[in-house]
Structure 1
Amino acid sequence: MNQELIPYLTFEDTKAALEYYKHVFGATDIFRESPTAKQAAEMAFNDDVDLENMTMSGHFKILDKEIWCADSFLGKPVVSSLISLMFKVNLDDSDAVAEMENLYKRAVDSEEVKVIVTFEKKSSGNRYGQFVDKYGITWIFNAVRND
């Protein structure tokens, strides 16, 4: 069975969120699609809504992992401390660890995330760190030995 589990995030302003992830995380392969007039009618949007600034569907990549997103059409989204996304790499893969460390450092250096755990070697020998972005999403960085 070939299946994927892809994070799907909801924002009040996905257009701005995509810019944030591009700037702070170095997100790539960014795509954003506005709702069509037909979709707006089906969803009973007000006639004065600016469809060009709304996002019906979007996605981007961080560390070559795909993340999908869209605007919340059911009201203002609620920030939840229950949402965490984890990057896990093999500690023996120095290139993957370096990529992870560079992403962590880039985001922290932007001063637009709140560090919860500094990314460093722990007593287990693994490297681990985490921070929370401005949307309340916790990002976990985990470099472990695959035994």
Structure 2
Amino acid sequence: MQNAFRSIGLIARATSIMGNRLFTPKNLQANQFLYLLRILENPGITQADLATQLHVDPSTCLRAVRKLSAGGYLTREADPTNQRRKRLVPTAKAQADAAQLHGYEQALLTVGTQDFTPGERLMLQELLARVAANIEGLNDDPDRLMATVKRAPHEN
């Protein structure tokens, strides 16, 4: 089972490296392409909701949003119901890169599951969603993780 989590880490690092390499010429560095992709999918998303969706801390999200704004990829518009709340809106420059960003994500999925049956793809999606939900639940109760670590037998 240990190898499964190492594989997840490998996938995350490899796709991040490839994405950064691919999008650096567009001045999208340090995984900013991930932020932009989510903003394109959810125009008008708030920075807090974006941070939650990407599972990053608010200060990390703020830095990425500032860089995307400075790069001309998004604007921050006041929410009509709450002027202090800002909505992140992709610009025409971001829209011009949308197809390439979505294509990158789709290509990774296609290549990563190229020899999977439709049933296996669905099973993978369901199993990873369950793993993610289980891990995300630890955010609310980190002591539970430490209690599990203390009593878990070491597996090879």
- Give the strand-richer structure, 1 or 2: 1
Shared fold, TM over 0.5: no
The one of the two structures with greater contact order (alpha-carbon pairs below 8 A, sep at least 6) is 1
- Give the helix-richer structure, 1 or 2: 2
TM-score by length of structure 1 reads 0.29
